Structure 1
């Protein structure tokens, strides 16, 4: 109908004009759209008080679960009396849903932000593999830590220490419920005694209650204040830790091993090469942890991510990699460093002989696992890994599993450990697990699809433009435009009429 309203020239203008327009638009979309969209996305990602990133950073929108395993010392009395090989049984998981909120957020003019992480845990009995009332026997950390501090003291001082230990609640092990060990706490006689001493040579004792996470549930002050880069002005610094409690070095380990860098796991640098390792700092671990690229890709909720995990090098102390030597405590260098596979937590635990490693001493030197029985590492359960979508820097799945153990060693001058063998006693394994939900995944997929949507739209317009131009050329060459025949006949008649009236063509 439209063609009947237009002459041949108008038809050509429309077809060739639209064809050229669609072709040019299609070419521009194919060539420039992905770059333009990527630029817009990268400008929208930095953390600001009004950004979408802030909404999800300030109050994590996906469910996080803390899976706690406690290690039950099944033959503690036999070890004490007869020196048999210790056996430990892993109990759990005791699962708690974790809510993460950033508190006391303060923005700075140098494009950084300071905050305090506040974590609150809620018991999830249906997801747990044990009950909070489970009785668990565990080495008595206060007594063992105090004994370790006195190991090199003169015999007379150790004599009086041993007497005080025996008379004031010193124990090789203690038995309490799972909830008491984890959050609830219990009264400890030896801690109460230590509080009354006010010994300037010993670390201050602030309470006679004991639990692994005592007074931590719902506390905004326990983990301290982090200052991270917002990404404003330099997207390649987004999420990078600048200070922790106002310092850029932990002071626990020398040199680079104590320097703060990497992410708090809440914010990562976007658009990094997939081969680049992930560096994270978790206050509980006292150190940064590097997760290495595995080369494995995983699809979660329709989004492709790459897997990064701990390796045998992660908890090295210089045996495998020379630059890891700084994780060996100064008082143990150069020849008494822990074997590869576990980091001494002594520098950040007031000298207590505690060690950080992968669960079940996975990846660690066999000297750790060989001292006890009951270990049964499971790669799928115990592996510390992050599956990361690298374009936007969004973790798709996290399983942050670590184990804390206690070094136990005999001392002939201290009764509670007089005849025990030397061994590493696992105390607890903690793992934070999370996986992206469908709602957040849908938003992420849309953002990731925008460059492709623009590219394919451009290809569509380019094809449509090329088709219109081809049709126009075909119709022009074949003279098949609507009304073309009538126009041609009119042109011939007009030409004949002009010839018949031309004076030069009339016979004289």
Structure 2
């Protein structure tokens, strides 16, 4: 008797525990997704109390700027009208440091800030030194010549004389450091003296001089604290809700984020939009595939083939024209009217005519396409590689002798890659709090539900076994079971066991 009572008690306890587990598991299946969503929403918004605020303020990801230069091998031949030949040099790698300052929270659920950048040369990661010399087009001379194309011949002759007096030529031989961060040029002083405000710089001229130890303008973005649907979206840039560089309202729109974080809970239908002050426009990347980065699930976003397409190939881009071949974007309107063009490196994804016009170019997807790997639940980038190329449109200008017989060509100057990947302590913290813990909760709810169902089966099985049919010879007599009361259905069972029909009166 004692052992049977203990068995019944144990079965009842296990059944009760199973019921609790099953109920808890079912509740977690309903509640946990909501809790995770609330935690994500709380921690990705721009709020000093959020988990990602310090990550947003002082980006912990080590960024690198890798610059590749196109060394012109045959400058004299180009002046005689031959096809230019270039040799890629680099990369020259710089550690990029970013930090936000003047952070001001506004009453309309937005925050304004300046982001400063500085660069530090990394010799150990570079293929060359900043003291290396290369031959490149003289941007100031050739750009000025292009601007004078429709001017009177007298002005062109005066410019030719000025170039000769100053010793200016169509191609120059300078160091990497000078081209990157600036060099003194008498032409700059001459232009600033007689044509003030024509150039946005007063001292040295360099391709990246404006980026070092400077900010990219005042961004005002939505924090997502009051209205989560607009989190990270740019409200204004330098006080503007749209720019005026282009020829259509659509192209002038400031869309997307500032390019550092995006709204969480992405799907493959999501696109990444951001405003780039360097490109003077908004850009949109599209979903390509899912993957993982250091155990963290990611979505990879890439540039669509239409990103730099001209208006004839992709009508919405008509506002960026005047255009040349498809695959390059004219940025002259936001680069002091110099005939500069933005594209993918080596004219990847562009009209093949562009790469064929310059010897030494070899576009391919693996080396020259850009991508961003984003954690879709939080919208935080895990790994990125943004690659762009700057080119100069050059040709002979009648009346300006320095341009010789240059045939019209879009000549690459440099291409550069901004890359960064989360690592170290920030990666571990991110993985633990935003990946590991949600996964533990996700699997725990199903484990509890399954365990509860198994435990609930124990008392049911025990009850069925204790009430199951037994052989008559093995049944203990009522005399040996004084503690058991006779069942009211015993007579019926006895008649049935002896093979006698049940009398209607007994029913």
2:234/2:255 contact within 8 Å kept: yes
**Cα offset for 1:27?**
1.4
**CA offsets, 1:331-371, max 9 Å, x none?**
x4xxxx32211110111011100000101011111232232
**Cα offset for 1:218?**
2.2
1:318 maps to 2:304: no
**How far apart are the structure 2 equivalents of 1:359 and 1:326?**
23
**CA offsets, 1:469-488, max 9 Å, x none?**
222223334449xxxxxxx9
**CA offsets, 1:195-214, max 9 Å, x none?**
221x26x6146424221122
1:383 maps to 2:369: yes
Matches within 5 A, 1:92-491: 92-183=90-181, 185-197=182-194, 199=195, 203-204=198-199, 206-214=201-209, 216-220=211-215, 223-253=216-246, 254-294=248-288, 296-328=289-321, 332=322, 337-446=323-432, 447-479=434-466
3-state DSSP class of the match of 2:278?
A: helix
2:42/2:50 contact within 8 Å kept: no
**CA offsets, 1:263-316, max 9 Å, x none?**
22211111122232211222111112222222x233210122222212321101
- Normalising by structure 2, we get a TM-score of 0.87
**Cα offset for 1:28?**
1.2
Extract unaligned runs of 5+ from structure 1. Answer: 481-487, 497-508
**How far apart are the structure 2 equivalents of 1:338 and 1:388?**
34
1:53 maps to 2:52: yes
**Cα offset for 1:31?**
3.1
Query: Aligned residue for 1:500?
Result: none
Query: Aligned residue for 1:492?
Result: 482
**How far apart are the structure 1 equivalents of 2:290 and 2:452?**
39
1:305/1:388 contact within 8 Å kept: yes
**How far apart are the structure 2 equivalents of 1:142 and 1:235?**
47
* CA distance 1:205–1:327, shift in 2 (3 Å): closer
1:91 maps to 2:97: no
Query: Aligned residue for 1:484?
Result: none
**Cα offset for 1:68?**
0.6
Q: Which moved more, 1:443-452 or 1:338-347?
A: 443-452
**Cα offset for 1:177?**
0.7
**Cα offset for 1:128?**
0.7
Matches within 5 A, 1:63-82: 63-80=62-79, 82=80
**Cα offset for 1:124?**
0.9
3-state DSSP class of the match of 2:235?
A: strand
3-state DSSP class of the match of 2:240?
A: coil
1:236/1:270 contact within 8 Å kept: no
- Normalising by structure 1, we get a TM-score of 0.87
**Cα offset for 1:381?**
2.2
**Cα offset for 1:255?**
1.0
**Cα offset for 1:114?**
0.9
Q: Which moved more, 1:306-315 or 1:343-352?
A: 306-315
2:200/2:336 contact within 8 Å kept: no
* CA distance 1:495–1:312, shift in 2 (3 Å): closer
**Cα offset for 1:12?**
6.1
**Cα offset for 1:495?**
6.5
The number of equivalent residue pairs is 475
3-state DSSP class of the match of 2:217?
A: coil
2:270/2:287 contact within 8 Å kept: yes
**CA offsets, 1:141-179, max 9 Å, x none?**
111121111110122222222222322343211111111
3-state DSSP class of the match of 1:118?
A: strand
1:169/1:189 contact within 8 Å kept: no
Q: Which moved more, 1:16-25 or 1:137-146?
A: 16-25
**How far apart are the structure 2 equivalents of 1:489 and 1:320?**
100
**Cα offset for 1:389?**
2.0
1:30/1:454 contact within 8 Å kept: no
**CA offsets, 1:5-55, max 9 Å, x none?**
x87886565334322222211211233322322233223321112212111
**Cα offset for 1:74?**
1.4
**Cα offset for 1:225?**
0.8
1:34/1:452 contact within 8 Å kept: no
Extract unaligned runs of 5+ from structure 2. Answer: 468-477, 487-507
2:109/2:227 contact within 8 Å kept: no
Q: Which moved more, 1:424-433 or 1:151-160?
A: 151-160
**How far apart are the structure 2 equivalents of 1:257 and 1:67?**
29
**How far apart are the structure 2 equivalents of 1:79 and 1:489?**
119
Q: Which moved more, 1:456-465 or 1:309-318?
A: 456-465
1:235/1:270 contact within 8 Å kept: no
